[in-house]
Amino acid sequence: MFLVDALKMAGSMTWQITWSLILGFALSAVVQAVVRRETISRMLGDDRPATLLKATGLGVASSSCSYAAVALARSLFRKGASFTSAMVFELASTNLVIELGIIMALLLGWQFTAAEFFGGPIIIILIAMFFRFFVRKKLIDAARDQADKGLAGSMEGHAAMDMSIQGEGSFAKRLLSGNGLTSISHIYVMEWAAVLRDIVIGLLIAGAVAAWVPDSFWQTVFLTDHPTWSRIWGPIIGPIIAVLSFVCSIGNVPLAAVLYNGGISFGGVISFIFADLIIIPILLIYRKYYGTKMMLVLLGAFYLTMVAGGYIVEGLFSGLGLVPDHGQAKVVQQGISWNYTTWLNIVALLVTAMLLLRFFRTGGRSMLAMMGGGPDDMAHDHAEHEDAEAPAAMHHHEEHQPPRAD
């Protein structure tokens, strides 16, 4: 019975968020289709404020799962990007993206989406200051030497793929071409393939926690009987729970909803969401990419700035009266009925079916097999199509050469 309750809760949350995830990934694919990788690496060679602003914007446009974002940041660093810019890019590409904002609004409320997009730049500024004042060039040089060894982490193949639209022309012309639809379909399906595991695990964990863990347990953990201490404790404990949950990317939002209903503070939720980049599997990848010392520095820097960001967000939103009541997050078990959610899910699933068809008709199957490749043994050049409207005339061009991180 306990297992059935957990699965029902997970299924209910899945049904509530399906259309929003599809919409978010579709919009993200459109943006990524017109942002070329070489544009990114050319612009991130230092850590000046203007460069970090560009790193943030390019990260948002290059939405990725946490593992792929970490791999891409390492690749940019190897190609000449400054370490600070690479880390800012990594933060933005996982925590300031369309799909995350939509699902947070749906499960937690618009206030959390606003807090995420307000808190993100704050954390980025704090990270930049931390690296400017506390991280020495000697350590960064050692990290670069380790990065240049090219040790494989996770989602290396996905990070090396440049699936943007090739060719010249205006934004609209490229986007509405046959090549544009193919590029969008490839990015859309590959992004889903990269994050599906984390989303499923996150929903199952959230369903199990919601069904099995009594509210009294969370109320004790989050010190809900002591409001002042609860606000202090929330941003401290939030990232720790994230580290131990092993859930990253969008998959941690359902669990965040459960934790908020359990009594964690508003700032604690924001700190928890951002901490997807310091979960244990990713810390092990940092160690492989940059060495043990830099891994510990990243853990300390990310943790401290995420805690600080949680406090700042909590203080501002509390002062403005924008903190919603606990217990309002949508994690209750609901049946399927003919409401707007059902209709939106039907439309979204039809769009997915269309993009899947395009993906597999234009060489997508081989791309899926290359997602986990090593950083120095594969590269993928996006398909170039001679006739956008005649799939038989399309050809999928792949070259196996040193990886393209640009």
Task: Look at residue 338 and tell me whether its pLDDT is greater than 60.
Answer: yes
Contacts of 66 (CB under 8 A, 6+ apart): 94, 198, 248, 249, 276, 277, 279, 282
Task: Tell the burial category of 69 from Cβ atoms under 10 Å away from its Cβ (0-12, 13-18, 19+).
Answer: buried
CA distance 166 to 189: 19
Q: How much is the average pLDDT of 263-275?
A: 94
**Domains of the chain by residue range:** 2-395
CA distance 72 to 76: 6
Q: Specify the pLDDT at position 353.
A: 95
CA distance 289 to 74: 7
| Percent of all residues in the chain with a pLDDT value above 90, rounded to a whole number | 35
Nearest-10 crossing angle of helices 227-245, 292-319: 140
Highest mean pLDDT among 37-51, 125-139, 321-335: 125-139
One-letter amino acid identity for 217? F
Span of 145-159, 182-196, 218-232, 313-327 with lowest mean pLDDT: 145-159
Q: Specify the pLDDT at position 295.
A: 96
Under DSSP, the state recorded for 382 is P
Q: Specify the pLDDT at position 153.
A: 60
Q: How much is the average pLDDT of 151-177?
A: 61
Q: Specify the pLDDT at position 326.
A: 82
Comparing 158 with 44, the larger pLDDT belongs to 44
Q: How many CB atoms lie within 10 A of CB 261?
A: 19
Whole-prediction pTM: 0.76
CA distance 69 to 89: 8
Closest CA to 64 of 166, 193, 205: 193
CA distance 39 to 57: 12
- The confidence band for 164, taking pLDDT boundaries of 50, 70 and 90, is low
Note the maximum CA span of the chain: 68
φ and ψ of 35, to 5 deg: -105, 110
Q: What is the pLDDT of residues 11-46, one digit of tens each?
A: 777 887 788 778 877 877 777 776 666 667 678 888
Q: What is the pLDDT of residues 348-405, one digit of tens each?
A: 899 999 999 999 988 877 777 666 555 555 444 444 443 433 333 333 333 333 343 3
Q: How much is the average pLDDT of 180-187?
A: 85
